[in-house]
Amino acid sequence: MLTMRPRGTNDIMPGEVETWQYLERQLRHICGEYGYAEIRTPIFEHTELFLRGVGDTTDIVEKEMYTFIDRGERSVTLRPEGTASAVRAYLEDKLYAGPQPVKLYYTGPMFRYDRPQAGRYRQFHQFGVEVFGSHDPAVDAEVIAMSMDFYGRIGLKNLALHVNSVGCPACRPHLRRQLQDFFRPRLASLCPNCRERYEKNPLRILDCKESRCSELGAEAPTTIDCLCDSCLTHFASVKKHLDLLHLPYIVDRRLVRGLDYYTHTAFEIMAPDIGAQSSIGGGGRYNGLVETCGGPPTPGIGYALGLERIILAMKNQGCAIPRSPGLDVFVVTAGREAEHTAFHLLFKIRRAGISADKDYLNRSLKAQMKYAGKAGTRFAVIIGEEELKSDTAVVRDMDAQEQATVAMGEVIKYLQAKMRHAPRLP
């Protein structure tokens, strides 16, 4: 147990972590361009927030939350998603009183107790955005297009963008009735979960992954059949704005998404080649959520993208993932005295902005050179007895296999000049 991580979690190790850092740079960059500010909320919240904010008929709340009683006898939950926390912060920090819309983004770990499999973990990472305070369908299109822009920038291709409208409180009761009428004669054949959903939230039956339920639901009335005029107009405008950007999408009448809070636009993005867990992101509008959480009526929309699945898709599609460039310099020494000189030089090199390291295992000069080569170091700066006497160092270019003797006081300048002339290719 001591040497095993909990089921459904991952270590992100050197070699892999560069991909994560690359994605994090890209997502911060795109958020800057689109005018989103970062928000960092706690990893855990009062359980009540998710019961209200995610919805107590959802799989997340019913089955998947990491909930525990803390030492102060309060029920807290590791966040299963980011929207509820963003809404809580929007209210707690009174962002609604400032200029609207408020555009926020977040990235970090989320926790759901689900059966782990490829692409499904108990701790996974999301990147998400939320926009509060605007009803404009152009915002729906911006949010959708931004997610597709992000995937495009990291080189993902052949993605399927599914969009739908799930209606609003005005058309939901109609849809609910229609769905209950449709499923009533089929109730006995639905899975036990869906039999419960029939009463609590029949819309979610359309989202069931059980094959008998999806077969039974194939002919069910869809959300689009039941939309009110205002929802139809909104949806038409979202599509119009997506068309203006020439962004291809599929209207997926069965798309309802797992969370209760969605109204109007819902969307999901699938990658074709990562197996059963093919959804690499999704989102939608949640115009009632801020109010449900105790705030003023405020429209909202957002998405969350799953970083593990994005990385899986990038690997499968052979997307270029920049590799770590490795150390610039390894300082190689022979003898105790040289080690002191080297230790001092090492810190000067680093302060000059050049990455550097030295041996800490008392290896022989030959073994140090071998280690520097294996570690992919660009230069070895070698200080032996000869160099100590003449106050010099040998600078060896490991790629070009050339070396020069350089005055100790000139080593940094020499390295800088070399690196300027021939920067290392990523």
**Which range, of 160-168, 193-201, 274-282, 285-293, touches ligand AMP by CB under 6 A?**
274-282
The nearest distance, CB 412 to ligand AMP, in angstroms, is 46
Q: Which is nearer to ligand AMP, 111 or 235 (CB)?
A: 111
Nearer to ligand AMP, 144 or 280 (CB): 280
Nearest CB to ligand AMP, comparing residues 252 and 308: 308
Size of the site for ligand AMP (CB under 6 A): 17
Of positions 137, 202, 217, 281, contacts ligand AMP by CB under 6 A: 281
Residues 58-87: x/- map of binding to ligand AMP (CB under 6 A)? -----------------------x------
Of 141-180, binders to ligand AMP (CB under 6 A) are none
Of 19, 58, 279, 287, which one interacts with ligand AMP (CB under 6 A)? 279
Contact 302, 283 (CB under 8 A): yes
What is the closest distance, in whole angstroms, from the C-beta atom of residue 351 to ligand AMP in the complex? 41
Q: Which region among 33-41, 99-107, 146-154, 306-314 touches ligand AMP (by CB under 6 A)?
A: 306-314
Q: Does 359 bind ligand AMP (CB under 6 A)?
A: no
Q: Does 387 bind ligand AMP (CB under 6 A)?
A: no
Taking CB under 6 A as the criterion, the residue among 130, 207, 260, 308 binding ligand AMP is 308
Binding positions for ligand AMP, 94-133, rule CB under 6 A: 112, 114, 119-121, 124, 126
Q: By the criterion CB under 6 A, which residues form the site for ligand AMP?
A: 81, 112, 114, 119-121, 124, 126, 258, 279-282, 304, 306, 308-309
